[in-house]
Every structure is written in structure tokens, then in C-alpha cells.
Amino acid sequence: MKVVLSTLTGAVATNPLQVTVEGIVIALVFISSIGGVLGWMLRVPRDGERKHAAARVVRSVNKQTRILVPILRSSEVTDRIVVIASQMAHYREGIVDLLAVIEVPFTLPLDAHVEQDKRRALEDLERAEALALHGGPKSNARVRKRILKARQAGVAIVHDAEEQAADLILLANETVHAHRGSQNIDAVVEYVMKNAPCEVMVFSPNRSRAEIAFENTEQSDATSGVVT
């Protein structure tokens, strides 16, 4: 028996794997659908996301165990932030640093004896210390106090926060009466807010009705052209 082997000349070889536009579109649709299913299966429920976010915030706040309280001046809002700092540190067994800054004018040497200012600063610190120790439940917090001399109080507060590795600064922003009774941020508070190495919480007192009435009277006089 003869076996004849022959080849077909002129035949075109075909590629078993052909890439077409339709195939690419189908593949992309398939991949995206698989990705969507996996994302749905692995996603964290919304309630879980909220719980995780709340837990992160609580952990972050609980780490704030070194609280710096600059005593800018003796006032009700300053007393309030001292008590708040004491209560915050109580539950974390933290430290409350009470700081008084004596601003020495440039006309005097920095080590000049300013006995009157020093006496006033000591009185403010003793008052704040008493509030921190007795303004709430028996505190687990340690209270420290110190006085610094500086040319500018804001610079001294920021420097002290860096030196003491403060986690939080509590500040009292007193009402500043500017033109037409507008309320501005205290210059020291503003400097600390912009340059502090840690978080800053600022407490501002509520304006009384007398202050609001005084502002309204000034605005009315300015509108009517009355000069007092």
C-alpha cells in the first residue's frame, strides 16, 4: 500500500488565539463584575466603620496625658479651663502643668527683678493649683506649676510645650473690645494656635447681655452719627 504525503501549498496558517474588540470588552466586564463582588464581600459594614472611627478617636484622646494650662490672667474662664484640665487628667492619671509667664519689656534685662509681677503670678498659680486639686473628685493627676520670664508670652508657651512634650494646651481667650465692640482673638492665643507643637483647645466666655447691648448701642450711634 502506497502512502502519499502531500502538502497544500498556498494554505493560510491560522492563529488559535485571536484577540478581538468584542473579546476585550467581555473580559473587562467580567473582571469588573468580579471586583465588585469581592469588594462587596470584603467591605466593612457602615456601623463597623463608625465604631472603628470612634475607637480611633478615643485612643487618640486618651493618649493626651500631659496637659499644659497657661494662666494668662485671673478670670472665670481661666478657672473653668483649670478644672477641665484637672478632670481630663484625672481619668488618665496624667499631668497638669500650670504655667505663668511674666513678660519683661525690652527696656529691661530679661533677668530683671519684677517683684510685683512675680507676686501676682504666684497668686494666680496658687489659685489655679487649688482649683485643680479640689475642683472635682479626688484627682489621680499630678499638678505642677512654674513661672517663666520672657519677652513674649506666646513664644514662651510654645517653647515650654516643646520642652515638656505637652499633648494638649488649654487656653482661655478673653474678650477683646476693638473698634465698634467687635471681639477678636487674644494675640497670645492666636500665636499659640499657629505655632504650638500639639493640639490646642481654646475656651472663650459667653458674652453677657450687657456687652451685646453695649455693642448695639455703639452701632446705633455710629449709624446715626452721634458721637459720645
Condensed to tens digits (0 to 9), the pLDDT of residues 131-161 reads 988 865 566 678 999 999 999 999 999 999 9
For residue 101, the model assigns a pLDDT of: 94
Sign of CA dihedral 213, 215, 217, 220: negative
In angstroms, how far apart are the furthest CA atoms of the chain?
134
Single-letter amino acid code for the residue at 31:
I
Q: For residues 218 and 23, which has the higher predicted lDDT (pLDDT)? A: 23
92: in domain: yes
Mean pLDDT, rounded, of the chain: 76
Best CA proximity match to 202, nearest among 41, 93, 123, 84: 84
150: in domain: yes
Give the total number of structural domains in the chain.
1
Angstrom distance (rounded) from CA 221 to CA 210? 16
pLDDT value at 42 more than 80: no
* Percentage of the chain modeled with pLDDT above 70: 61
Angstrom distance (rounded) from CA 154 to CA 160? 10
For residue 32, the model assigns a pLDDT of: 72
For residue 73, the model assigns a pLDDT of: 85
101: in domain: yes
pTM here is 0.64
58: in domain: no
221: in domain: no
5: in domain: no
Backbone angles phi, psi at 129, to 5 degrees: -65, -40
Single-letter amino acid code for the residue at 158:
V
pLDDT value at 228 more than 50: no
In this structure, the strands spanning 142-150 and 95-103 are: parallel
CATH of the domain at 203: 3.40.50.620
pLDDT value at 123 more than 50: yes
pLDDT band at 5 (very low <50, low <70, confident <90, very high): very low
165: in domain: yes
79: in domain: yes
pLDDT tens-digit readout, 44-96:
566 666 666 655 665 566 677 899 999 998 888 899 999 999 988 888 888 99
Give the structural domain span for 182: 66-212
For residue 61, the model assigns a pLDDT of: 63
